[in-house]
Amino acid sequence: MFDTKNIGKKIVNLRKINNITQMELADLMGVSYQAVSNWERGSSMPDISKLPELAKIFCVTIDELLSGEESLDFIKNVIDSKDDSYLKEEKISLKDVAEISPILKPVQTEEIIDKIVDNTAKVTIKDIAEIACFIDEDYLNKLIKQINEKFTVKDLCDIAPHIDEDILNDLVLQAIEFGGTDGLESIAPYMDEDDLSDIVKKSNTIKDVMALVPYLDEDAVNNLAIMELKNERLDNLVELAIYMDDDDLGDLAIKAAKSGHINLINRIAQYLNEDALHEIADILVKKHGISAIKEIAPYL
């Protein structure tokens, strides 16, 4: 990756040597004053099409401007439009493209990728992860369809924010089939609620899906809670309570009270609405006496 701080310092020094202000350089380059300021602070890089112009203003070569950058030869070949032969001879990878993509337009990046993919036996998830943030979503979706390998959910983490929900769901299902749900909580924020809920329904154990609860719809959370009450896994039920609909939680708590789960009621009382609490209090007093509502009394 480019050392933008180092290049920024070179631009500052060259500008001062040539006795040019930031505003004057911006005018000469046809960019905003803020753009020049960002270059010099190392927050961004000049577009690749601007490098020859910048070098000319400073009376230096591109080599001098970018000296020390590992991608220098690649950049020069892109500028000179000689990248076709260079790509083949140097066996440029998608990781190499990612190195210079910060100064390329998305279309330029995509054109180079097309040429690389044509000369490559296969495209991998790791390859795509390298360049996902530099290309258009439609192009990324097209590239993903060329993947011909098995991968895990964790392999999808870097590309999940950049792809279409439907395509992401298809990839997640493939990954789960191959390697299980490990890492799915990192991808959940980018998935459709219904797709995620469907995956949870098919899960074998609650352990696999507890980390996903914040991203599920209320119906899916309620179904999990019902299952946990049935299996008397009360610790998990307490964890689920804060994500449940008030009415669903109230109904579940009433069932728990009828089953004698006083400890559970005490632990979730703060999340229950007034109507549910009063009904639960009546049930507990009738079955266990007034002492049974000692813990929930402050919430009544």
pLDDT band at 243 (very low <50, low <70, confident <90, very high): very high
- Over residues 239-256, mean pLDDT: 93
Lowest mean pLDDT among 22-31, 50-59, 184-193, 202-211: 202-211
Contact 25, 15 (CB under 8 A): yes
What does the pLDDT read at residue 154? 93
pLDDT tens string 268-300: 999 999 999 999 999 999 999 999 899 999 988
What is the identity of the amino acid at 225? A
Lowest mean pLDDT among 3-7, 152-156, 190-194: 3-7
pLDDT band at 257 (very low <50, low <70, confident <90, very high): very high
Cα distances from 104 to residues 66, 131, 238, 248, in angstroms, run: 15, 12, 51, 52
Tell me which residue has tokens 């180092």. Answer: 6
- Over residues 177-182, mean pLDDT: 88
Q: What is the pTM of this model?
A: 0.71
What does the pLDDT read at residue 120? 60
How far, in Å, CA of 187 to CA of 212, rounded? Answer: 9
What does the pLDDT read at residue 235? 87
Contact 221, 240 (CB under 8 A): yes
What integer best gives the mean pLDDT of the chain?
87
How far, in Å, CA of 127 to CA of 11, rounded? Answer: 32
What does the pLDDT read at residue 81? 67
pLDDT tens string 32-45: 999 999 999 988 88
pLDDT tens string 62-77: 888 887 666 777 777 7
* pLDDT > 90? residue 229: no
pLDDT band at 205 (very low <50, low <70, confident <90, very high): low
